[in-house]
Structure 1
Amino acid sequence: MPRFTSPNGGDDVSSPHLYVANCGPAVGFSHETIASVFAIYGEVEGVYAADESGTRVIVSYHDKTSSQAAMKALNRHPCSSLGGHTLHIQYSVQSLGKVNNTASVPVSTSASDLDILGLHLMHDFVTPQEEQVKDQIFGELLAAVDDRPWHHLAKRRVQHYGYEFCYDIRNVNTNQYLGELPSFISPVLQRIRSFQALGRAADMSLDQLTVNEYPPGVGLSPHVDTHSAFDELIFSLSLAGPCIMEFRKYTTGVWQGNSTDLENQIPGKNLNLVKKAIYLPPRSLLSISGEARYAWHHYIPHHKVDQVYDSLIRRSARRVSFTLRKVRPALADVNSLSSVIRKNSHI
């Protein structure tokens, strides 16, 4: 967690960070709700617990202009969006202590900066209003998965739809077809198909969904999604908390398209490695295909605090990702044929 303290010049010194009292989970307001209220005045980089009380938070903006506007509008005034609570606000500054971050790997906020073919990131794929309001379609995504059973892995929870992915064999279990994708994901599929920038996505019939829940600080080991199980194009929608995704390319390997099974090529410790990293904010959609899909391992560092440019961003909330893929036709055909055989065997 980033550390904050009072500015050296006292209350007259402004900063992008605000210390906000009478506001927090202990008085009924989640960090996500607080962020949505303060976002009216500018881009909120993060909301963090100021202490253990649950009644005081730090709201970090991208710039001082936004924090100044929020200070003027909200300090010592009842806030109707937060139940009429009167907020007591002071400026705060970030104290750079010892944190785990990706300082050795510069982090970009745009996929174009990484210069990896086939990698695209769409910010605000789901708008803040849609995510926060419960009766909105996308706001119901988190509630929908929370109403369904989770499968517990070592450090995270998962749900599978369409086809189950077996982590022990790193492949799709074609003997356990789980049926069509749930209705709650339909609006996401429709929105994906509406984006012309995604090319042939409109022609794809995505039929496998994995929902991952990452607690704060939990990441994902470097890997390439199984070639034999899934088609080329993969989508990942991030909700709730942010994270950094790192891409790693081993310079001894050469990408040869789908035929090169990089997931079975375990690099030695001394091989040269190229690393690039991108920040995945909530409500963003990442698409991976081509070189990004087959030539680069992707990885989520196990950090509680990520460094993005000069800002430290705490993973203060769980992150829930919705990964959509297309099972390779051969596997799907085998599953369909097996279903027919099983059905006919009971006639």
Structure 2
Amino acid sequence: MGLPKFSRPKGGCEELSCNLYVANCGPAVGLSLDCIASAFGSYGAVKGVYPADESGCRVIVSYCDESSAQLAFEALNQKPCHDLGGRFLHIRYSVERPQCQVKGTDSVQVSLEASELNIPGIYLIHDFVSVQEEEQLLAAVDARPWHNLAKRRVQHYGYEFCYDIRNVNTQQQLGELPSFVACILDKIPLFRKLHEAADVLLDQLTVNEYPRGVGLSPHIDTHSAFEDSIYSLSLSGPCIMEFRASVDDRDTNNSSYSSNFVRKAIYLPPRSMILLSGEGRYAWQHYIPHHKVDMVNDNMIRRSSRRVSFTFRKVRKGSCRCDYPQFCDSQKVKQETGSS
């Protein structure tokens, strides 16, 4: 089930309920949900504390009974809360909206490790680069020209990725990968213990800059464009990466349904590197939800003002012959033309 949804009662702030809308309160102003629950717990049993919106500075405190909510309202509204550092709180009553039980609207549990996803071919290494290396990498790309897309900026190295055809022109090489990514390429062999893809010689890099709240639409990287292994390094800010595949032929452990898809998600902290290979690369769509705040299980994590990703790939020079023909543009062409 997803988080409960709340709204103002029709009768205004005088209409009692078990739930309080609390402004000037939340992770964005330095208050954790656990800390808020503890402070409001002085007035009665707190059922839960939830983000009221994506701002990170307004929450819903839900009590088990109306009398506790009334006590907290009278004690804290427009007054300093000593348990929250003397912060002045602005409180209104709120009511829970009934959730429509529509298949596919529930949220998905967020994994912290790739092994929890149970998707073959997906691996994650935390702290792949150091804080100092992160700063140097960001400074290096910021010293170079960016290309503006509709909602984000990009840089291409090795080969340019053409978004209109979702492929690369193998006849137009931009040059070698820049020297400033040597600290990344030198560490790729760390994946050898996890997957043989670490031996692939990478020759294409796309740098993406995502402003806060901007994500990436669901897609599978074109099979004929790139080889098996795709590496993506997250810098500057965190995000959630989700994966989805057809419900009919996918494992449904640790996942949620969305229409005809099964969904899984993983949290990508800054400086982590994720590898997509095998089934996870060829058969699962991956994307980044367009959120300003991500719920990582019971924790609300606010995205930073920017997130920069370094995505490394190996350009494919021939047709793809993977084991997933239903998702493969190379093999679909052969089927349509009757080629063997």
Normalising by structure 2, what TM-score?
A: 0.61
State the shift of 1:316 in Å: 2.4
Structure 1 counterpart of 2:187: 191
CA distance in 1, matches of 2:86, 2:185: 42
CA distance in 2, matches of 1:245, 1:274: 14
111-120 or 192-201: bigger deviation: 192-201
Equivalent position of 2:273 in the other structure: 285
2:294 alignment partner, one of 306, 319, 338: 306
Q: Which residue of 2 aligns with 1:164?
A: 160
**Structure 2: gaps (5+ residues):** 1-21, 38-54, 59-83, 97-104, 252-257, 320-340
Q: 1:174 aligns with which of 170, 177, 195?
A: 170
Question: Is 2:113 the counterpart of 1:110?
Answer: yes
Write the deviation string for residues 255-280 of structure 1: whole angstroms up to 9, x where unpaired.
Answer: 9xxxxxxxxxxxxxx96210111111
- After TM superposition, give the deviation of residue 198 of structure 1 in Å: 3.8
Tell me the residue number matched to 1:239.
Answer: 235
**Residue pair 1:213, 1:320 contacting (<8 A) in 2 also:** yes
Taking structure 1 as the reference length, what is the TM-score of the superposition?
Answer: 0.60
2:295–2:301 contact (8 Å) kept in structure 1: yes
* 1:31-50 map, 5 Å: none
Equivalent AA in structure 2 for residue 274 of structure 1: V
**Higher alpha-carbon Rg:** 2
| Whole-Å separation in 2 of the counterparts to 1:104 and 1:298 | 16
| 2-structure distance, mates of 1:306, 1:97 | 23
Provide Cα deviations, 1:106-147, integer angstroms capped at 9, x if missing partner.
1111111110000111111123xx3xxxxx444210000011
Q: Confirm or deny: 8 A CA contact 2:224 2:318 kept in the other structure.
A: no
State the alpha-carbon separation in 2 of the partners of residues 206 and 97 from structure 1: 54
**CA deviation vs aligned residue, 1:223-254 (integer Å, no higher than 9, x gap):** 00010010001100000011111100013568
Describe the superposition over 1:269-319 as per-residue Cα deviations: whole angstroms up to 9, x where unpaired.
x96210111111101100000110111000111011110111111112200
Identity, % of aligned positions: 61
Deviation at 1:4, TM superposition (A): 5.3
Structure 1 outlier segments of 4+, above 4 Å: 48-51, 95-98, 252-255
C-alpha spacing 1:275/1:50, structure 2 compared with 1 (3 Å): closer
Matches within 5 A, 1:44-193: 90=85, 104-127=107-130, 130=131, 136-193=132-189
User: Are the aligned partners of 1:3 and 1:97 in contact in 2 as well (CA < 8 Å)?
Assistant: no
1:231 maps to amino acid: E
The answer to whether the 8 Å contact 1:193/1:202 transfers is yes
Q: Does the 8 Å CA contact 2:192/2:199 hold for their aligned counterparts?
A: no
Partner of 1:155, secondary structure, is coil
Residues 1:115 and 1:125: Cα distance change in structure 2 (over 3 Å): same
Partner deviation per Cα, 1:60-81 (whole Å, 9 max, x = no partner): xxxxxxxxxxxxxxxxxxxxxx
Compared CA separation, residues 16 and 199, structure 1 to 2 (3 A):
farther
Distance in 1 between the 2:24 and 2:245 partners? 36
Matched, 1:15 2:3: no
How well do the aligned residues superpose, as a CA RMSD in angstroms?
Answer: 3.4
SS in 2 for 1:302: coil
Distance, in Å, in 2 between the alignment partners of 1:218 and 1:302 is: 5
Letter aligned with residue 237 of structure 2: G
- Cα distance in structure 2, aligned partners of 1:312 and 1:225: 30
Instruction: Give the Å deviation of 1:104.
Output: 1.3
Residue pair 2:242, 2:266 contacting (<8 A) in 1 also: yes
State the distance in 1 between where 2:243 and 2:198 align: 26
Query: How far does the alpha carbon of each residue in 1:6-38 deviate from its partner, in whole angstroms, 9 at most, with x for none?
Result: 9xxxx9xx8289xxxxxxxxxxxxxxxxxxxxx
May I ask how many residue pairs the two structures share in their alignment? 233
Gaps of 5+ in 1: 18-47, 52-88, 131-135, 256-269, 332-347
